[in-house]
C-alpha cells in the first residue's frame, strides 16, 4: 500500500468570509466545468443526439421560412436570423432539465457527498450552473457548424465569439438554476420533467428566437421583455450576425438574472437534500 495522506492534528481553517466564498466558487466552477468536459469526452453521443432537434429547426423550419419570406427580417436572410435563436433554444433545452440531474444526484447520494465537502451551497450551485453552460457551449459548436454548412454568415471576430460563449454560459446558468429551483420545490423527477416540458416551449415562443418582437401582439411583447431568453437571443444575434443589439442591457440582464436565480436555487438546496 502506498503511503496514505494523514490528516493534520487540528482543524485550523476558519469558515470563509464573502471573499473566501467567492474564491471557493471560482475554484468549484473550474472543477465542475472540468468534470462536465470529462463526461463529454467519455460519451460524445449525446452531442449528436441533442443536435437532432436544432438541426430540424434549421434545415426544415429555417429553410422553408427563408423561401416563403413569411417572417420579415429586413436585409437579413431568415435562416441567418433564426440560427442564433436556435442556438439559444438548444442551450435552454440542455439547462432546463439540469434539475433532473440534481434530483438523480440526490437519490444516488452524490449531492450529500458534495455537500459534505468544504463548498458553500452557493458555490456548489454556481459551479453546477456554469457546468451546464459548458455543456451548452459544446452543443453550440455542433449547431454553429451546421449553420455554417447551411450557409449562415457568421462573424469572424474572435472577441465576438467570446461574447457568444459568455452569453451562452450566462443564459444556461439562469435556466439551469431555474430548473434546480423547480427541483427544490417539486422534489421529484417526474414532476420536474412535466413542468420542464410545460415551460420550455412557452419560454421559446415568448421570445425573439423565431420572429422579431414587432410582430408579436402587445401582451406577448410584455412577456418577451421579462423573458431572459430574449436578451440572450438578442446578444447572440448581435454578436454572430451583426444585427442591432443592446449588448450592455442584454449582458446586464443576463448577469442579474443568473445571480438572482443562483441565489434562489442555493436557498432551496437544503430542502432538496432533505426531500
Question: Where on the chain is the footprint of another protein (CB under 8 A)?
Answer: 1-8, 10-16, 27-28, 31, 34-35, 38-39, 42-43, 107-110, 112-120, 270, 273-274
Contact 154, 77 (CB under 8 A): no
* Dihedral pair phi/psi, residue 126, rounded to 5°: -60, -45
Q: Which is nearer to another protein, 16 or 242 (CB)?
A: 16
N-terminal to C-terminal alpha carbon distance within the chain: 40
Least distance to another protein, CB of residue 114, Å:
7
Q: How far is the CB of 192 from another protein (least distance, A)?
A: 17
If the CB atoms of residues 12 and 248 are measured against another protein, the closer one turns out to be: 12
Min separation Cβ 167 and another protein, Å = 27
The separation between CA 116 and the C-alpha centre of its own chain, rounded to angstroms, equals 26
CB of 13 to another protein, least distance (A): 5
Q: CB-wise, 67 or 113, nearer to another protein?
A: 113
Nearer to another protein, 2 or 49 (CB): 2
Choose between 6 and 52: whose C-beta lies nearer to another protein.
Answer: 6
Nearest distance, CB of residue 268 and another protein, angstroms: 15
Amino acid at each position: 500500500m502506498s503511503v496514505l495522506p494523514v490528516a493534520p492534528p487540528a482543524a485550523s481553517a476558519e469558515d470563509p468570509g464573502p471573499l473566501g466564498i467567492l474564491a471557493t466558487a471560482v475554484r468549484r466552477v473550474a472543477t465542475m466545468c472540468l468534470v462536465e468536459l470529462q463526461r463529454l469526452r467519455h460519451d460524445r453521443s449525446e452531442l449528436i443526439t441533442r443536435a437532432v432537434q436544432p438541426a430540424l429547426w434549421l434545415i426544415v423550419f429555417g429553410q422553408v421560412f427563408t423561401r416563403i419570406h413569411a417572417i420579415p427580417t429586413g436585409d437579413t436572410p431568415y435562416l441567418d436570423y433564426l440560427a442564433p435563436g436556435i442556438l439559444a433554444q438548444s442551450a435552454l433545452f440542455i439547462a432546463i432539465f439540469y434539475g433532473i440531474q440534481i434530483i438523480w444526484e440526490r437519490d444516488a447520494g452524490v449531492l450529500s457527498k458534495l455537500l459534505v465537502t468544504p463548498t458553500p451551497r452557493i458555490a456548489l450551485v454556481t459551479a453546477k450552473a456554469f457546468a451546464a453552460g459548458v455543456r451548452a457551449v459544446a452543443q453550440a459548436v455542433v449547431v454553429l457548424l451546421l449553420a455554417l454548412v447551411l450557409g449562415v454568415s457568421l462573424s469572424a471576430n474572435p472577441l465576438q465569439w467570446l461574447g457568444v460563449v459568455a452569453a451562452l454560459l450566462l443564459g444556461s446558468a439562469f435556466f439551469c438554476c431555474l430548473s434546480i429551483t423547480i427541483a427544490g420545490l417539486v422534489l421529484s423527477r417526474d414532476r420536474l420533467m412535466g413542468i420542464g416540458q410545460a415551460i420550455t416551449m412557452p419560454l421559446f415562443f415568448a421570445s425573439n428566437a423565431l420572429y422579431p418582437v414587432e410582430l408579436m401582439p402587445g401582451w406577448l411583447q410584455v412577456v418577451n421583455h421579462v423573458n431572459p431568453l430574449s436578451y440572450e437571443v438578442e446578444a447572440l444575434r448581435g454578436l454572430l450576425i451583426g444585427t442591432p443589439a443592446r449588448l450592455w442591457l442584454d449582458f446586464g440582464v443576463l448577469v442579474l438574472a443568473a445571480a438572482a436565480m443562483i441565489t434562489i436555487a442555493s436557498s432551496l438546496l437544503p430542502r432538496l437534500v432533505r426531500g
